[in-house]
Structure 1
């Protein structure tokens, strides 16, 4: 009997060790909690973050957060001794247009946004158009993005609409544009209306840092807002966790476990 229990414990321990190595070195699961990256990523999308894409830093160590059980173990608790150098083991720099998970430089929370500015770039917004190093990034009209006005995801927040305050169950619309970066990367961005962050001053990206923006431009906390005023600001290279490459599956309900709400058209969908 004791021999059987011992073998069971050993099996569990080995499994946990393998899972820990897998999550630390290869891929990290990530569930999209907000609508800041619509329509590229929807609330309830479940994906794995490729940690091998940019090499490893302290941010590659796992965070374990289970509020129900009072568990909140941060990557810094595991690997904080390596923080501060802005270097990476087997480092490879992100490319403009990559969709990246990173740790907020102040709060340590995981964010997912698109790389817009590389070190040395200048970024400015003018009437919703990006000026990258002084040149306007191309946008073309792509019609309307439509979704149902309903409470979304585990937080139960409703979407924001360009067609006003519509009731539950009604059609919620946003303007859709295709944006094309200088390296040819194309993706859709959404517009709700005229907002303060549609026009900004000029940001100069420091060496070793990056400028991120959400595709749902009017519903995104990103590098357009400095950290000192509660935004993301510039993100150091060492705070990058990895690249989002592919959605595994997606749930339109309040929980990933509600399999009857899974979106069949998003299985293994590439993140572009």
Structure 2
């Protein structure tokens, strides 16, 4: 299995699927998951001739679990090392939830020379905390309750999140997939406690000013029934700061779009890539 050793001696696991000479896509997962959560997108894109690369963020999945470095800047540096090590060029960056934050910070910290476009799916950008200036954001007390729940019983909390708001299984008429719930829980419990706890603070990051520096094409995808990152806090808000972005809305879509709208998301990414030439 491929691993990369970072500058601070952390072993990062990554997957490299498909045509090694094909157009590259780099996928960054949400919390508290790992690259396995992208398997449907990676399999689809690899079969379309793409080189699909995804990593397990430090502290998650099969990567090491260091005590320090569970923050957006460090993750951006980790991504930079992988992209440079594999010599990916004209890359399409794809991020879901927390993963949208670290690929954004990768661009603003390390440049866009290797980037062709970006896809943000239900991401924590541009700024999702509720303030007088951002009344549609998430109250900080919600994230405090997440942290309290993890300290009390992480395993139980990691059952409740996918059983309810993450996939929208708490909505009337929505049939839950026990397989999706079990997979989410297993990935979450494979991650380190410190990393999953620390990552919740990354959701308080304000990306608005740095997003103004991004001028390449960006596809923003958001479900309008996202109970984790509310549509009015994310979604079209990203377009206020990005110079060259389009929005795709999934009506009634939950936070876990890559898992519950597999065909739609796969084709959104493919069509976006083809539109870039």
TM-score (norm 1): 0.26
Larger relative contact order (Cα-Cα within 8 Å, sequence gap ≥ 6): 1
Name which one, 1 or 2, has greater alpha-carbon Rg. 1
Indicate the structure with greater strand content: 1
TM-score, normalised via structure 2 length: 0.26
Comparing both structures, which one devotes a greater share of its residues to helix?
Answer: 2
